[in-house]
Amino acid sequence: MKTLKKIIIAIFIVPIFSLTVLGDEILDLYKHLHANPELSWQEYKTSDLLAEKMEELGFSVTKGFAKTGVVSIYKNGKGPVLMIRADMDGLPVQEKTGLKYASKVRSLYTDKSEVYVMHACGHDVHMAVAIGTAKELLRNKNKWAGTLMVIFQPAEERGQGSARMLEEGLFEKFPRPDYNLALHVGSTLPAGTVAYHKGYAMANVDMADITIFGVGGHGAYPHTAKDPIVLASKIVLALQTIVSREIDPLNPAVVTVGSIHGGFKHNIISDEVKLQLTLRSYTDEVREKIISKIKRIIRGEAISMGISEDKMPTLKLRDEYTPALYNTPEFVDIVIKHIKDSIGENNVFEVPPVMGGEDFGRFGRVEPKIPTFLFWIGGPSLLDWEKSEKGEISIPGNHSPLFAPDPEPTLKTGVSAMTAAAIGVFNEPR
């Protein structure tokens, strides 16, 4: 595994595609998307714009699929079907980058409160790269044959968009892909680079709500009550033993209690406490183990406190579940070979997996399974990245209000890498 400390002999000196035709147009599109983000399931203007761009290119376009999704098909002779996916939704984050094209958008969130909205996870990059890649592939359509399927997916940030697209028949109503490709911009790599990981690259993500019941009473007479705050404290501590003592240390897992709420006055013992958890794993087996052990712990601790059967704690898993991303190793090898040929071997790095989530992995889980690969592209400027390596600055990560990729080299790398990957896949012997 190459280390990033040995980067950078020649970032983007000899890309296979010059992007001279696309540069300004794609950059302008990116800035527009960045300045006009929309929340999950609200991507109406974004999807309209993207659909218009794809129609102009000559794609057969279906709008409003899975509410706000866009499916674009271009047939270029006989050959495999390749799906390229880009996600569209922004986050409820107030942008603080100070960019001229910074978002000032406010919108209604799920609870109907008004929030600021920002493309703090780089989906604006993903969309612009997808459009740029489509243009490049059509400009070079004499170099490949097959069916190109470009989809713009809603609600990735809520882990729901891919599920809904599949539920509504994405692979039945449209050509079933032979391969799935996507990319994600990050902050741990400099712009001009690509990173990848074979196998499990991103985690299963579950959001869990635990409600703990007790018997309320006066704080001066605790013996007359059954304190759910004490019970919650015992449960929080016991949950820490799942990863440390019940999961194989070689199988990554995370159980984090991110929120605890109970009571409202100093001298009143509450009758209820709520916990909010995030659970992370790679394999489905470990995921199921974590969930089953949580159920055992909350029930066991409640019994130990003498909680009656009708007041046993409850565990609810939210529907924002994101399955683990598994990058098919053989497919990764094929794609990375072509990316290295495009942007230079010295700019491509194998990196460790992460415990973040991405619902793109669902598209590869259908039976029979489809070879699937999501790779990373760098976002920070090379200068900033070098300063961060020296400890002089800290680069804001994804979901930060300060997240701001260096647009031009980031977009060029994304389009070059994805275009080269696509042409290579289309021409790969089957």
For residue range 367-425, list pLDDT tens digits in order. Answer: 999 999 999 999 999 999 999 999 999 999 999 999 999 999 999 999 999 999 999 99
Region 221-244: what's the mean pLDDT? 97
For residues 292 and 189, state if they share a domain.
no
Helices 407-426 and 123-139 pack at an angle, to 10 degrees, of 50
CATH number at residue 251: 3.30.70.360
Q: Percent of the chain scored above 90 by pLDDT?
A: 93
DSSP string, 227-259: -HHHHHHHHHHHHHHIIIIIS-TTS-EEEEEEE
For residues 360 and 373, state if they share a domain.
yes
Q: pLDDT tens for residues 317-371?
A: 998 899 999 999 999 999 999 999 999 999 999 999 999 999 999 999 999 999 9
For residues 210 and 156, state if they share a domain.
no
Domain boundary among 261, 289, 317: 317
For residues 71 and 162, state if they share a domain.
yes
For residues 139 and 30, state if they share a domain.
yes
Contacts of 113 (CB under 8 A, 6+ apart): none
Tokens of 166: 């599949």
- Please tell me whether residue 311 adopts helix, strand or coil conformation: helix
For residues 192 and 133, state if they share a domain.
yes
Residues 90 and 123: their CA atoms lie apart, in Å, by: 7
pLDDT category at 2 given cuts 50, 70, 90 is low
Q: What local confidence, expressed as pLDDT, does residue 29 receive?
A: 97
Region 175-202: what's the mean pLDDT? 97
Number of domain units in the chain: 2
Locate tokens 């159980």: which residue?
255
The answer to whether the bond into 177 is cis (omega within 30° of 0) is no
Contacts of 304 (CB under 8 A, 6+ apart): 234
Query: Pick the residue with more confidence: 100 or 10?
Result: 100
Domain boundary among 265, 292, 317: 317
For residues 125 and 61, state if they share a domain.
yes
For residues 188 and 233, state if they share a domain.
no
Q: Among 12-26, 168-182, 214-228, 346-360, which is the least confidently predicted range?
A: 12-26
- Contact between 84 and 149 under an 8 Å Cβ cutoff? The reply is yes
Domain boundary among 272, 297, 317: 317
For residues 197 and 331, state if they share a domain.
yes
For residues 76 and 170, state if they share a domain.
yes
Domain housing 404 = 4-202+324-426
Residue 9 has pLDDT above 70, yes or no: no
CATH number at residue 112: 3.40.630.10
Region 301-330: what's the mean pLDDT? 96
Region 116-123: what's the mean pLDDT? 98
